[in-house]
Amino acid sequence: MAQETRFDLVIIGSGPGGYVAAVRAAQLGMKTAVVEKSSRLGGVCLNVGCIPSKALLDASEYYHLAKERFAEYGIKTGKVGLDLATMLARKDKVVEDLTENVRKLMEGNHIEVIHGLATLTAPGTVDVDTGKKKKLTLSAGNILLATGSEPLEVKGLTFDGEYIVSSTEALSFDSVPGRLGIVGGGYIGLELGSVWNRLGSMVTVIEMLPKIAANLDGQVGRTLDRILKRQGMQFKLDTRVVEATVSGKAVKAVLATGDKTETMTFDRLLVSVGRRPLTRGLGLEALAVETDERTGQIVVDQEYRTSVKGIYAIGDLVPGPMLAHKASAEGTAAVECMAGRAGEVNYDTIPAVVYTWPEVASVGLTEEQVREREIPYCVGSFPFSGAGRARCMGETDGFVKLISHGKTDRILGVHIIGPRAADMIAECVLALEFGASSEDISRTIHGHPTFSEALQEAAMHVRQCSIYAS
């Protein structure tokens, strides 16, 4: 007979959604268990996603600065060399430290951590294959699914883990590819393309749409395109990869643009066209948990309840942007709903960040969305070239763009491309949460000299429009 253990809540998955939900549940007095299939906690984000990619982005940026820009600051370094093995080892150490922090967080909150493959066998029952002869059976008042997502495979571009790869393998190349092809011009492709471009790869991004980072505000997207091209990245837009084959130690890719085709050869081909919910093996079909036939996402209500009583789902498994901070917010909200509290997520104020350099960050509506909805609006912008702090650092690319309602002046969206945009966006998220106006931002004193002054100046520019709005 399998061992049975009773919990108030069993969470499947220990990523940013799962572990945050577990801590909140423990704080609310729930006896909680987390089941994780991998040997380390933290999910995709900590192990093969957000954290290692940012570690490499920062490291590659330092390398680029030392090699290309230190001299203009009066810093003499001599010939700068790359020790890729050390760079990758540092990335791995960052990941190790943070996953260990999550383990200690679970331990400190008295959360049971079980490593193994979890399967739903009945409402309130989870079987866990821990690799031992007997499966472990857990029973719980509620079950929260937080298993995240996995890279999408494309027909004709099957991953082989060495030459045709997903983002996971692209974090650990043993050498800098001379020619790196990237299928997909979204956030992940642009970030990893930036890493290897700085380290010496000739990067070509192949995007089937007419623009990269299609979800960005159009003006911001066009600016990012120009800057990345100036940095050496190449883009083939309105183009799809028909097929790719490995020949020797290279990948030959057949590209189609309209009715024309061409063949390009790469040392590595990164396929980064999106992600899909990771639900395989969970047992959703046996319990008739409703999913969207088109996307594979689990259907949930406003309290993250699935179609089966006592089973909840969050993060990449459910509709909405596949972002770690969105999963964390949903994890907290779902657990609070279980506890009878008013847990909720404001999906209108979820920030998005692209960690290229310069960074891109946004929250709220784009100018295109405002026009589509026929909302009267005003736009204010300010270039970082006019900000003293940006001038001091030599980081003058980009601008802040603020969109407000033409009649009420309420802020509708903020879009930033420039230095430290990822950190600046927090003020904008707070402004949207509180229903602030551009005047509120413009009258708020910002430190000088700082990057955030550009936001204040953009807000002042909006006011020039709002005075005359009808």
- The amino acid that residue 46 corresponds to is L
Rounded Cα gap, residues 324 and 443, in angstroms: 33
Is 193 in the same domain as 118?
Answer: no
Range 67-91 average pLDDT: 96
Number of Cβ within a 10 Å radius of residue 170? 26
Contact at 8 Å (CB) between 275 and 316? yes
At 427-448, the pLDDT tens digits run 999 999 999 999 999 999 999 9
Overall pTM > 0.85: yes
Binding site as annotated, residues for NAD(+): 184-191, 207, 274
Q: DSSP strand E in 210-299: where?
A: 234-236, 240-247, 250-257, 260-266, 268-271, 275-277
The whole-number pLDDT of residue 466 equals 52
Query: 324, 353, 332: which is closest to 46 by C-alpha?
Result: 324
Is 158 a member of any domain? Answer: no
Is pLDDT above 80 for 463? no
The whole-number pLDDT of residue 3 equals 56
Is 139 in the same domain as 282?
Answer: yes
Separation in Å, CA 365 to CA 369, 400, 402, 448: 6, 14, 10, 29
Binding site as annotated, residues for FAD: 54, 147-149, 316, 322-325
Locate 149 and state its tokens: 């997502």
Is 129 in the same domain as 169?
Answer: no
Rounded Cα gap, residues 284 and 317, in angstroms: 12
Which of 251, 272, 293 terminates a domain? The answer is 272
Helix (H, G, I), strand (E, B), or coil: what is residue 450? coil
Is 134 in the same domain as 193?
Answer: no
Contact at 8 Å (CB) between 287 and 175? no
Rounded Cα gap, residues 181 and 202, in angstroms: 8
CATH code at position 87:
3.50.50.60
Is 18 in the same domain as 54?
Answer: yes
At 86-98, the pLDDT tens digits run 999 999 999 999 9
The whole-number pLDDT of residue 17 equals 98
Percent of the chain surpassing pLDDT 90 = 96
Which of 272, 301, 333 terminates a domain? The answer is 272
Catalytic residues, by residue number, are 448
Is 47 in the same domain as 127?
Answer: yes
Is 78 in the same domain as 221?
Answer: no
Rounded Cα gap, residues 196 and 327, in angstroms: 28
At 220-257, the pLDDT tens digits run 999 999 999 999 999 999 999 999 999 999 999 999 99
Is 137 in the same domain as 39?
Answer: yes
Is 418 in the same domain as 299?
Answer: no
The whole-number pLDDT of residue 469 equals 41
Instruction: State the total domains in the chain.
Output: 3
Helix (H, G, I), strand (E, B), or coil: what is residue 8? strand
Structural domain including 419 reads 358-466
Is 116 in the same domain as 244?
Answer: no
